[in-house]
A = this chain, B = another copy of it.
Amino acid sequence: MDSVREIPLFNKLSEEHFRQLEHFSYFKTYNAGEIVFYEGDDPGTLYILVDGVLRLYKTDPKGHEFYIHQFVPVSLVGELACFENMKYPATARFITSGKILKIDYKRLENDFFKNPDICFEIIKSLTRKVKILSNVIHQEMILTSDAKVAKFIINHFDIFNSLKNNEVASILNITPETLSRTLAKFKKQRWIEQPRHANTKILNKAALKKLFEE
């Protein structure tokens, strides 16, 4: 994807707007591990993720990363900070290599947002984010560690199997030790099975579900 014209968010833009947009936006490629913006950075740039996986996280005073979400293309990122003119509330780091369209927000004409199609896309994006954050709150504040692990195994079984426990723990915002102990507990109850060199098997889905469905 090399042109703003290919971005779904803008698919109904007028030719005039396209030409404007091209003047104050550009594509940038990133390597895995590179930071797009830091929590606390001043706003002003709107990001559209067009390639790669972008992780959003906050950092606590002890330096621990608190995982919030991983975006996949095509996603609008950073609009809250821009709309509200507040510092970015989280850090964005590429997990894979990727590409982003960077847009100078301040130079976007207001009438840009008069376009109903753009508005609709923005509403969709914001709605997704409310949902994401609402889920984060549920997962982190309401569920116990056991419940989080059980939910992840059931709802993201393939991801669970493809990632190292290390990575799973970081997504769940628990330590690898806690994950290890929780899995040991599940195995002891014979709710799951982890044969050597093979995928985890769920033996008692109902028991696992009971942990996170009240």
Q: Which residues of A contact B (CB under 8 A)?
A: 58, 60-61, 66, 68, 80, 83-84, 86, 89-90, 113-114, 116, 119-120, 122-123, 126-127, 129-131, 133-134, 136-138, 140-142, 173, 214
CA distance A136 to B86 in the complex (A): 16
Do residues A80 and B134 form an inter-chain contact, with CB atoms below 8 A? Answer: yes
Give the distance to chain B from A38, nearest Cβ to Cβ, in Å: 12
Chain B residue with Cβ nearest A61: B214
Do residues B138 and A89 form an inter-chain contact, with CB atoms below 8 A? Answer: yes
Do residues A137 and B84 form an inter-chain contact, with CB atoms below 8 A? Answer: no
Do residues A61 and B119 form an inter-chain contact, with CB atoms below 8 A? Answer: no
Beyond A80-B134, A113-B120, 10 extra complex contacts between A and B, CB < 8 Å:
A58-B141, A60-B142, A61-B214, A66-B142, A123-B126, A126-B127, A133-B134, A133-B137, A137-B137, A141-B173
Chain B neighbourhood of A66, CB < 8 A = 137, 141-142
CA distance A141 to B39 in the complex (A): 15
CA distance A140 to B141 in the complex (A): 8
- Selected A-B contacts with CB under 8 Å, 25 pairs: A58-B141, A58-B142, A60-B141, A60-B142, A61-B214, A66-B137, A66-B142, A68-B137, A80-B130, A80-B134, A83-B123, A84-B131, A89-B138, A90-B134, A113-B123, A114-B116, A116-B116, A119-B119, A119-B120, A119-B123, A126-B129, A129-B130, A136-B137, A140-B140, A141-B141
